[in-house]
Amino acid sequence: MVRLWLALRRARGWGALAGLRARPDKFGGVSVDLAELRRPLRLERAAFGRWLRGKCRAGAPGAAGRADAVARWREEGRVAIWLRIPILQSRFVAAAASQGFAFHHAEQGSSTLTLWLGEGPSRLPGYATHQLGVAGAVLDENTGKVLVIQDRNKTLNAWKFPGGLSNPGEDIGDTAVREVFEETGIKSEFKSILSIRQQHRHPGAFGKSDMYIICRLEPSSFNISFCQQECLRCEWMDLDELARTKHATPITSNVAKLLLYGYREGFDKIDITMREFPAVYTGLFYKLYHRELPESYRNFT
């Protein structure tokens, strides 16, 4: 009876692990993806815990489902284990946590846990540390007026440039142009980066860091139709006045002065310009932002 029970238990437990592969990576770690379980419902939480703990004996050779998991990887000199768990199989998360695993990250339908086996503190790369906010300073060169808004949800009604968080995969200039249009109805074109700010432990970024970039944009439409949900006010303001007013956030005030300097003495004095380069991986391009480089130096050989 006990033997039958054990056999059943094994069938419902480690047998379900048979399809699972442990994939070594080039940094000395190993990855296991529970999305590869053929019959996840047949794997009991406790059986998974025992498999990790390395106290079971069954399993197919070569499969991750063999006998001793963590202990065996440690003996093999693996420095880390990466464990990806589909959200609906999250019952295995606590079992892994009991063995020392912790969340590395999670997104939508799955989480990834890690366990460092190497010497000293973990040298595993962390997950994304920054959110990116981008604002657009849209200057109408014909009138010397710049597009400014006041946020609806802020107690302090200070003038600022329209902007918002970058979407995943979105380029800096595209975020600026999109956010300006969504908030004010003004169409514009990216010209340059004006300033970069970094802030840490940002409450609006779930304690992560915030990178905030202000771009110089050139308007191609002029009739304001601003988003009532986000903005309290929106107008074309004299750049002089924005550079002078106390009713602006410090960063807005500072960038207004910078923009005024460029407007009066040439944008080449303030711009951080963009160039596109082919990436090392075929077919991709990347944008590099820096000070203007004379042709003679670009072609230096």
Residues sharing a CB contact under 8 Å with residue 96, sequence separation 6 or more, in sequence order = 48, 49, 52, 83, 85, 113, 115
Cβ closest to a second copy, residue 68 vs residue 241: 241
C-alpha span between 135 and 144 (Å, rounded): 19
Q: Which of the ranges 54-62, 85-93, 141-149, 178-186 carries the binding residues for a second copy, by CB under 8 A?
A: 85-93
Q: How far is the CB of 189 from a second copy (least distance, A)?
A: 18
Residues 215-244 interacting with a second copy (rule: CB under 8 A): 243-244
**Residue selected from 58, 60, 68, 103 as contacting a second copy according to rule CB under 8 A:** 103
Q: How far is the CB of 52 from a second copy (least distance, A)?
A: 14
The DSSP annotation for 209-272 comes to: EEEEEEEEEEES-------TTTEEEEEEEEHHHHHH-SSB-HHHHHHHHHHHHHHHH-GGGT-B
Residues 150-189 interacting with a second copy (rule: CB under 8 A): 153, 156, 165-172
x/- string (CB under 8 A) for a second copy, residues 108-147?
xxxxx------------xxxxxxxx---------------
**Residue selected from 6, 11, 94, 232 as contacting a second copy according to rule CB under 8 A:** 94
Q: How far is the CB of 61 from a second copy (least distance, A)?
A: 30
**Residue selected from 34, 52, 147, 205 as contacting a second copy according to rule CB under 8 A:** 205
C-alpha span between 17 and 147 (Å, rounded): 60
Residues 255-274 interacting with a second copy (rule: CB under 8 A): 255, 257-258, 260-261, 269-272
The type of residue at 21 is R
The type of residue at 257 is K
CA distances from 243 to 54, 180, 215, 239 (A): 67, 20, 16, 6
Contact 93, 85 (CB under 8 A): yes
Q: Which of the ranges 54-62, 69-77, 82-90, 141-149 carries the binding residues for a second copy, by CB under 8 A?
A: 82-90
Contact 85, 75 (CB under 8 A): no
Residues 30-69 interacting with a second copy (rule: CB under 8 A): 45
Q: How far is the CB of 250 from a second copy (least distance, A)?
A: 5
Size of site (CB under 8 A) for a second copy:
88
C-alpha span between 260 and 255 (Å, rounded): 8
Contact 123, 136 (CB under 8 A): no
Residues 272-301 interacting with a second copy (rule: CB under 8 A): 272, 275, 277-280, 286-291, 293-294, 297-298, 300-301
Q: How far is the CB of 87 from a second copy (least distance, A)?
A: 4
